[in-house]
Amino acid sequence: MAEIFTALFILFLFVAVLAGSSVRVLREYERAVVFRLGRLVGEKGPGLVLLIPGVDRMVRVSLRTRTVGIQPQDVITRDNVTARVDAVAYFRVVDANSAVVSVEDAQKATLQIAQTTLRSVLGKADLDSLLSERERLNEDLQQIIDEQTEPWGIKATTVEIKDVSIPAAMQRAMSRQAEAERERRARIINAEAEYQAAAKLADAAAVINAAPAALQLRYLQTLREIGGGEQNSTIVFPLPIDLVKPLLEATGGTKPAASGAPEQLPNGAAHGELPKPQ
């Protein structure tokens, strides 16, 4: 009786181990690629997957998006500037069968493709495009990587350039260029301001010319500004030189001689005396 009980126990244990090896439970984001005697059966899951013990072999594949950091690459741009570029790629498996059958290590292969494509695409762009047109370069990188990984059942969703490092000498040159550009814009703005101010002054002159009373009002306002406002008791009246010159000539008498020496009288006579006849 004990021998029968032991045999049944061993048989039950064998069936339990066999059932455990033939039953798999896959999560929602997982798929099972099943091989039967080395031949591809197909993709199964998610949920409960039954396998034939000793005959079927399963490879578990995750369909979630993966993040792969691309190691910093030394890139020579089209204008012969050496830059160090750091990027990141996002990809996911869309065909589990191809991801297992077509490539040995999908993640490693995608990383190598991303590194090669990064150097190739950025080497065709100049430094200004590399710094200012990252969105376009990201789209080009994503499209090229996606075309190359499509036979592997992998979809490159996004490729982003994280950082671009350039030599210190080039940074100083770019700083000087930016400073010169800002100075140029400042001069243009000043010139435009002077042009607009000149136009307004011309309009004001036309208005004053049409209304002489406006000139007198402007004259009085200028006197007030020169006097320093209401707190100053000094009043300055600027007079044109044409009005003052006749008055100065009338009160000053004859014009003095050109030379500073006194005029000599004949025979050494003194001023106010006439010479005696001989």
Give the tokens for residue 57. 């072999």
Top-confidence residue, 70 or 235 = 70
Domains contained in the chain, number: 3
Distance from the Cα of residue 158 to its chain's centroid: 21
CA atoms of 175 and 182, how far apart (whole Å): 11
**Span 44-94, pLDDT tens digits:** 888 888 888 888 889 999 999 999 888 888 888 888 888 889 899 999 999
Among 162-176, 216-230, 236-250, top mean pLDDT goes to: 162-176
The residues facing 155 across adjacent strands are 92
What CATH number corresponds to the domain at position 125? 3.30.479.30
Residue 257 banded pLDDT, cuts 50, 70, 90 = very low
278 domain residue, yes or no: no
Residue 269 per-residue DSSP state:
P
8 domain residue, yes or no: no
122 domain residue, yes or no: yes
Residue 250 banded pLDDT, cuts 50, 70, 90 = confident
250 domain residue, yes or no: no
Verify that 156 and 109 share a domain, yes or no: yes
* pLDDT for 238: 61
Verify that 104 and 189 share a domain, yes or no: no
pTM of the model: 0.59
Verify that 24 and 99 share a domain, yes or no: no
237 domain residue, yes or no: no
Residue in the block written with tokens 């990809």: 91
